[in-house]
Structure 1
Amino acid sequence: MYELQQISATTLSLPEDNYIYSIAPCAPGALAAISSDDSLRIFDVNLDLGTSVISPKSHNEGVTCLRSYSTSDSQLVTTGGRDGKAKLWDIRAGSMVLEIETNKNFPVLSVACNPHTNTIVTGTELVSSQAVVALWDIRSANAPRLQYVESHNDDITELQYHPTQHNILLSGSTDGLVNVYDTTITDEDDALVQVINHGSVHHAGFLSNSAIYALSHDEHFSVHPVTNPDSTEQEPEPEPVEFNDLREPLACEYVVQLCMGAQVPFIAAGNKIDKRLDLVPLISGPNWQFDQENLWRLPGAHGEEVVRSVYLDDKTQSVFTCGEDGYVRAWKPNGGENQAQTGFKSSRPKERKQKDRFRPY
């Protein structure tokens, strides 16, 4: 086990009794944050350098989600809100550059971004027995260029693109399903190339080009192989790895999310009673498993409050967390630069190749 120490903390100048939903990278050396006051704020990774308020009210009826849309020549972030809108913000200009409005203003609960195809995807709350995955071309965003309206029958809580195949999109929902689509196909039935039944989805995404993870709202976790729809071989598909409830094996009370490091993913597992957060490496070879001997521990974490979001900054070898105590906190390894480098990367063997709505815990 390695131990991190808190090196700085900030409230981002939030009004009292507010807390921070999520943080995400938005520019070199800077992170974005959305909070319970519905603001969108930008702050330097050196937390002592202050905060910029991009919008004190990013959405009229509650901001819900945040994703980076940054490219090599732009610094953009996307937010979604309960007002039925997704917005694209230019960090350099400090202003909104695009507003997308869902059909009948269905509340937006999740977004995904693909700069390679100029696409923002919105996932909505279930309204009138319909939850919609809509793909929008930001160059012509008056109407979605593609919609999937029958694949989920409850709130869409997660959206993510495949790491290398820009036509492959994943969605997760509280209906228990993780769906994978080929977005070059307009017919919804034909576009759906894989369906995973996991349980009410808190988070889901691609671990790699060939693996999908799913985390439920009751802390059940699993890893599934990505199917190849073009395969003609009759070999059986590899079986998924079912970890079931992570709370006992990881000695935690709740799971925040899965975090992607430079070489290894980590499960962020929180314990309010013990006031700690553990980052547990998830390694493959030959089977997916947790490397608890090399976990990173953040003692104190956010006290007795829930940690909401975690970001691993491999460039600075730092960990950033935010939570319901209203703070962003920065952490570094106790052992200095060498331990930081080995700790972030040594765990992976060489491969064979309103508070009620958003409180998920």
Structure 2
Amino acid sequence: MADSDIRHLFEQLNLTEKTAFSLEKTKEDYILDISVQERSNTLAATSSNKFIRLFSYSNLATKGSIEGHSGLITGVKFANTESDILFSSSEDKTIKCWDVRTDLKKPVSVFEGYEESNNIFTSFDVSCNDRVICAGCAQNKKSEDVHLLFWDRRGKELLGCYSDSHQDDITQVCFHPTEPDTLSTGSTDGLVCVFDIGQPTEDDAIVLTLNSESSVDKIGWHNNNLYCVTHIDTFYLWDIKKEEDLLVLTDIKDSNNLQGKDSIEYLIDGLVINDKLHLVAGTHSGSLRVLDVSGDSPTVIQSLTGGHTSTVRCCLWSDNMLVSGGEDSMLCLWSHRKTIPKQELKGKLKVKKSVTRKAQPY
């Protein structure tokens, strides 16, 4: 798809659905993570209230709720090959597997770690063939070790761990979308590591160690390229097949293109849309900006306003629609359908007071 076609695709996006994660005014339920399964038309979202809620992806109608963790939920992810299977990780030292066709009272399976690791799971992912689950941990304050744990999803047993590649909390775990043995991880130590987990030892498995020079917020794959968004709003893109060539380095504070009406205050995540990588940024008042990062400096190709009233924490592109979740406890769906009339919005939503941005939601 040509750049002009992608620009036109974004220009046609409207706010078509909007729903509150929680209707309890007393709670500031930051939406922290979302996952979509197109085949079952299901969206899973988790927030700082330790719940997982399920919605219809096409219209954000509520489909169910999971109250299966006692600690903060740090990630949700649908299986890649089974449309009704959902995984969740938590600081309660478990990763749980759910079948969304059930009453959601009991998980299908539970994955736990070693006694030697603290098992505070801060991020996780599932390989593209759904055979391996990998979770990153917070640093063990006693031993100062930082563990990556691996499970066989089919057999449910713990396969092993890596403990020498990071020196601080692991913030991101991300398998390659088509190569089941290729794994990337990011940490507050500033390192982004790439592993071939088919190798027998951690020393053999580590392929690359990249330095973002700041705490890592998000990482993701675009073909053979690996991108990274840091907590100080820098964006890196590396070609890992060409001696880790740095293709793009962007610091939004130094970009002349992101001023005035196109100004942004933070970066959210990368999005691969029609095989092209874009970057999503925002303002603390709730506006979203979609950035083209293919040139010498990022440029805004579309602004999305009217959905959120506070900082957006996560976003996801699927089936030519964008869904976003924020600190205002709102999920917003942006598509090519007709914009929601204001009177319909008033009927669907209970107004919730905007909250200020915090470093942590808990």
- CA distance in 2 between counterparts of 1:85 and 1:334 reads 39
Match of 1:278 in 2: 289
SS of aligned partner of 1:218: coil
Match of 2:129 in 1: 116
Q: CA shift at 1:221, angstroms?
A: 1.0
Q: TM-score w.r.t. structure 1 length?
A: 0.81
Instruction: Choose which of 128, 133, 139 in structure 2 pairs with 1:126.
Output: 139
Q: CA shift at 1:93, angstroms?
A: 2.0
Instruction: Tell me, yes or no, if the aligned pair for 1:204 and 1:214 is still in contact at 8 Å.
Output: yes
Instruction: Tell me, yes or no, if the aligned pair for 1:26 and 1:76 is still in contact at 8 Å.
Output: no
Structure 1 pair 241–80 and aligned structure 2 pair: CA distance change class (3 A): same
Q: CA shift at 1:4, angstroms?
A: 3.6
Q: Deviations over 1:242-268 (max 9, x none)?
A: 424224523211111112223322211
Determine whether 1:186 maps to 2:200.
yes
Determine whether 1:32 maps to 2:47.
no
Match of 2:237 in 1: 223
For structure 2, which runs of at least 5 residues remain unmatched after alignment? Answer: 1-6, 340-356
Q: CA shift at 1:334, angstroms?
A: 8.2
- CA distance in 1 between counterparts of 2:128 and 2:177 reads 12
1:335-346 equivalence runs, <5 A = none
Q: CA shift at 1:181, angstroms?
A: 0.8
Instruction: Choose which of 305, 309, 327 in structure 2 pairs with 1:299.
Output: 305
Code of the residue aligned with 1:201 in structure 2: it is V
Q: Deviations over 1:89-119 (max 9, x none)?
A: 1112243111111223521011010252511
- CA distance in 1 between counterparts of 2:71 and 2:184 reads 26
Structure 1 pair 117–323 and aligned structure 2 pair: CA distance change class (3 A): closer
Instruction: Choose which of 239, 261, 274 in structure 1 pairs with 2:273.
Output: 261
Q: CA shift at 1:164, angstroms?
A: 2.2
Q: CA shift at 1:289, angstroms?
A: 5.0
Structure 1 pair 178–185 and aligned structure 2 pair: CA distance change class (3 A): same
Code of the residue aligned with 2:324 in structure 1: it is T
Q: CA shift at 1:155, angstroms?
A: 0.6
Match of 1:21 in 2: 32
Code of the residue aligned with 1:7 in structure 2: it is T
Structure 1 pair 296–334 and aligned structure 2 pair: CA distance change class (3 A): farther
Q: Deviations over 1:292-331 (max 9, x none)?
A: 26x121113412x110111112x2x322111111111112
Instruction: Tell me, yes or no, if the aligned pair for 1:146 and 1:186 is still in contact at 8 Å.
Output: no
* % identical aligned pairs: 25
- CA distance in 1 between counterparts of 2:240 and 2:205 reads 15
Match of 1:63 in 2: 73
For structure 1, which runs of at least 5 residues remain unmatched after alignment? Answer: 229-236, 337-354
- CA distance in 2 between counterparts of 1:300 and 1:111 reads 32
Code of the residue aligned with 1:26 in structure 2: it is Q
Instruction: Tell me, yes or no, if the aligned pair for 1:85 and 1:100 is still in contact at 8 Å.
Output: yes
- CA distance in 2 between counterparts of 1:262 and 1:94 reads 36
SS of aligned partner of 1:190: helix
Instruction: Choose which of 70, 94, 97 in structure 1 pairs with 2:108.
Output: 97
Determine whether 1:166 maps to 2:180.
yes
1:45-56 equivalence runs, <5 A = 45-47=57-59, 49-53=61-65, 55=66
Instruction: Tell me, yes or no, if the aligned pair for 2:292 and 2:298 is still in contact at 8 Å.
Output: yes
Instruction: Tell me, yes or no, if the aligned pair for 1:270 and 1:307 is still in contact at 8 Å.
Output: yes
Code of the residue aligned with 2:119 in structure 1: it is F
Code of the residue aligned with 2:49 in structure 1: it is D
Structure 1 pair 60–292 and aligned structure 2 pair: CA distance change class (3 A): same
- CA distance in 1 between counterparts of 2:163 and 2:244 reads 30
Q: CA shift at 1:272, angstroms?
A: 2.1
- CA distance in 1 between counterparts of 2:102 and 2:273 reads 30
1:139-158 equivalence runs, <5 A = 139-142=154-157, 144-158=158-172
- CA distance in 2 between counterparts of 1:48 and 1:81 reads 24
Structure 1 pair 357–78 and aligned structure 2 pair: CA distance change class (3 A): farther
Instruction: Tell me, yes or no, if the aligned pair for 1:25 and 1:31 is still in contact at 8 Å.
Output: yes
Code of the residue aligned with 1:109 in structure 2: it is T
The CA RMSD measured in Å over matched residues stands at 2.5
Code of the residue aligned with 1:154 in structure 2: it is D
- CA distance in 2 between counterparts of 1:5 and 1:206 reads 27
Structure 1 pair 328–335 and aligned structure 2 pair: CA distance change class (3 A): closer
Instruction: Choose which of 201, 204, 207 in structure 1 pairs with 2:216.
Output: 201
Instruction: Tell me, yes or no, if the aligned pair for 1:10 and 1:327 is still in contact at 8 Å.
Output: yes
- CA distance in 2 between counterparts of 1:246 and 1:77 reads 35
Match of 2:119 in 1: 106
Q: CA shift at 1:359, angstroms?
A: 5.0
Structure 1 pair 181–252 and aligned structure 2 pair: CA distance change class (3 A): same
Code of the residue aligned with 1:66 in structure 2: it is V
SS of aligned partner of 2:203: helix
Code of the residue aligned with 2:190 in structure 1: it is G
Match of 1:88 in 2: 97
Q: How many residues align?
A: 320
Q: TM-score w.r.t. structure 2 length?
A: 0.81
